[in-house]
A and B are shown apart, each in its own frame.
Chain A
Amino acid sequence: MGLLKRKNDVYSALIEGAEGVAYTSFYHDAMRRLKKDKIAMVCLFVVAALIIIAIFAPFIAPYEEDYMDVGNELARPSSEHLLGTDEFGRDILSRIIFGSRVSLMVGVVAEAIAVFIGLVVGAIAGYYGGKVDAVLSRIIEIFASFPHILFAIVVMFVLGTGIMNVFIAIGVVGWTGLARVIRSQIMQLKQKEYVEAARASGGRNMQIIFRHLIPNCLSTIIVVATMNIPSDIMYEASLSFLGLGVQPPQASWGSMISEARKFIRQYPEYSVFPGIALIVTVLAFNLLGDALRDALDPRLKNL
């Protein structure tokens, strides 16, 4: 925890240097509020642990991702295999550890894609308004008028399976919420004096959007992105569960649950473990997102 605390201080010091006092006190206050939130700190710790596990998976996992202990298939938990083995004799614990890589990468990469699209569409719609906004708003509505998971399934069908395509599918599906929030924020911001001033002094539109407007939406972006990560992880698990996402032998919690489904009579606990990993991860990100929202941008509460 001491390490984390130091990191926060460094973080706020960096902001202080770059942005001056007003900004500092805002983030400083937010960080202070966050630090007081015990649940948030536990979640932060869990997320940090997950990241470490994902990065150092080959060193932490007792076995290789695809090592098969032939003759020892569907084994119950033992000292050799703490959580037992799957139908190919692969160590379940090791596969759960390697599976964290997929889940976390989805959270980062897919969300980055979603943030990029949402930011561009939302900023342009909000800044230009009028006809541009009307058209973009309809486009947002079209993309939002579809159950996300079904949309992702269709995209996966078009693109084909594979982890890169999972990122793209989830990113392409998940940007509409952020676009809406950014749109309305930019609409409010562009009426502020300093934006008028920038425009009056001949600032180009793109320059105003990127220099003045988007930095002011930063806390919103952080909050919305963090709050989206758990559902991204869930979408990946769902796609892989349906056999449309990450393909074997690469381990994903979703596909592990799907495989385990075939053996609920022989080895029921098999399906329990990857599910728990998924729940803990999603829960940690979920609560962390809530806490960040409360600390940084309570207005988003009705999202």
Chain B
Amino acid sequence: MSEKLLQVKNLSTYFYTDEGVVYALDDVSFDLEKGEALGIVGESGSGKSVTALSIIRLVQSPPGRIVSGEVLLQGEDLLKKSAREMRRIRGEKVSMIFQEPMTALNPVFTVGQQIMESILIHQHKSKKEAREQAVEMLRMVGIPAPEKRVDDYPHQMSGGMRQRVMIAIALCCNPQLLICDEPTTALDVTIQAQILELIRDIRERLGTSVILITHDLGVVAQVADRVMIMYAGKAMEYGTVREIFTDPRHPYTAALLRSIPVIENKTERLHVIRGMVPSLSKRPEGCLFHPRCDEACELCRTKRPELVTMADGRQVRCHKYTDEWEGQHNDRQ
């Protein structure tokens, strides 16, 4: 279990637009063990989707460009692969499912054709075999009467069904890594739970590693082992699901947790993080979160915090846990 499947090191992706450089992803590192599930959490605009697209090198270019870093899949740097090699990896070793099941499937092909396309690219199979496998995949992701539905067009299916089809496409070549970009955001709550259950089930049965990107800490709690909290293109905190939920260290993580509705607390008003994610091209001085942070002080306004590794191994990007902070607050008292 301790074998590293994926290591992302100091990955930065910038978008060069007319309005200036957008630092969508800035010096982010994390790794993923075989069979592990990592949750990447952040508000919209925090760079979490760009992380996913950067890993499989599908960042829209121009204007986007991966400017530095390494993405090691079983020790091989994906950023150094040729376009052709990369195409062999996509869909076979690393698959991705997207947020919008409504638009992520091509409306003019049947779902069967779209599953078969992937099989035919990566495996030496005849059309007939590919079709049989497509039916099997549909059965596996829990679509009833797959022999019939295989010839359906996407518009004949519900959102949840389409997301199941997306998962079938992603899994048909038995990838080692499945990246799910907001897989449940566009779905009804009950369907959400089913899809998450499916992802968890797949992970257990096939041993696929999963990166789950979401803005919803609740979703992460159901599927992931570890969590990376992102804000404005930077990783703010790492930890296991348990650590993050019981002992959030970064003020942003804490605020995110407080914004989850708790049913027992009927009287207390839902906490809302004031302000908005800063424009990634005009980032504030100092800590990127300080304009919205209740605990921000002078240090936060002027100096950009580094990632701090604490005594228990947790990693947080906040001045609160540095000596400087101690010094400043002692001065004030």
Is there direct touching of A and B in the complex, by C-beta distance under 8 Å? no
Q: Enumerate chain A interface residues (CB-CB to B < 8 A).
A: none
